[in-house]
Amino acid sequence: MTAEFTEVGDDVFVLRYPVLDVNVTLVLGDDAALLVDTLASPAQAAELTGAIRAITGLPWLVANTHHHFDHTFGNGTMAGEPACPIWAHEETAALLRERPEAVRREAYAEALRLAPELAPDLVTAPIVAPNHTVHHESTLDVGGRPVVLRYLGRGHTAGDLVVHVPDADVLVAGDLVEEGAPPAFDDAYPLEWPQTVAALLRLTTPSTAVVPGHGAVVGHNFVRGQHEELAALEWVIRDGHADGALAEVVAAKAPFGPDAALVAVRRGYAELSGRV
């Protein structure tokens, strides 16, 4: 399957991979590069390597925006041997290091639902945990170019990492921002997600290119609109829980469509009940 990088900022490139419509970002410095996310399998990662080598011969380090398989199961291929630095938030690293088979089981179930052709590869893909972690913020020197890794709070997962390339005005948001499909709430924190995206918005300008986890590159106004929807969802969940309303009833009034909203409402109810 052919996929190519497109430049979205000065020496910042995005590859939009057609399976699951997932994005990978490549940041070039003078003598090193940063790869943000590694796709869903060794086979996909091998394709990714070819696409990178069509642009540059530089060595790279890796950052994972969160733990989900479509962003991390290529780590083993992309890290090489010995492994290059792989950065992630500490929650992401801990989950991939301490509960890899739980992550694999969840990945397999999701692949069967969304992309069944991927499922066999997920059974044998090595799960390689990040070896460098971010607590709140770390600045990487990518070949003389500063790239800032920030943890802004929980949202899509407990460990969402944002990658900021200030000199190119590019912000890699991971699945905190979704384009072309509703956000995924299966292990999300819908009552905290709005404030996390509000913090992300404060890093943008009207000209910032924001790379979502999936879909087309967007800008400040798109992110602002998604923040408004997430905030509306939060308050629908809080009101419904206070009223003792069934999750199905609340989901029918929520943004993002009934299927995604029902997952979000149930997850939000679990937050309010202290179960997550």
pLDDT at 126: 95
Indicate whether 131 belongs to any domain.
yes
Residue 148 pairs in a beta bridge with: 139, 164
What is the domain-level CATH number for residue 83? 3.60.15.10
Whether residue 274 lies inside any domain: the answer is no
Per the structure, the complete domain to which residue 192 belongs is given by: 5-220
What was the pLDDT predicted at 82? 85
258, part of any domain: no
Q: What b-and-e string marks burial along 86-96, b requiring 16 or more CB atoms within 10 Å of the CB?
A: bbbbbbbbbbb
> Does residue 59 fall inside a structural domain?
yes
Structure tokens at 113: 């639902």
Residue 229 lies in a domain: no
In a domain, 191, yes or no: yes
Burial 221-252 (b: 16+ CB within 10 A, else e): ebbeebbebbbebbebbbebbeeebebeebbe
Give me the tens of pLDDT residue by residue for the chain, a chain 276 residues long.
668 999 999 999 999 999 999 999 999 999 999 999 999 999 999 999 999 999 999 999 999 999 999 999 999 999 988 889 999 999 999 999 999 999 999 999 999 999 999 999 999 999 999 999 999 999 999 999 999 999 999 999 999 999 999 999 999 999 999 999 999 999 999 999 999 999 999 999 999 999 999 999 999 999 999 999 999 999 999 999 999 999 999 999 999 999 999 999 999 999 999 888
Which pLDDT score is estimated for 167? 97
Q: Is residue 236 part of a domain?
A: no
Number of domains composing the chain = 1
Residue 12 CA, distance from chain mean position: 17
> Does any domain span residue 126?
yes
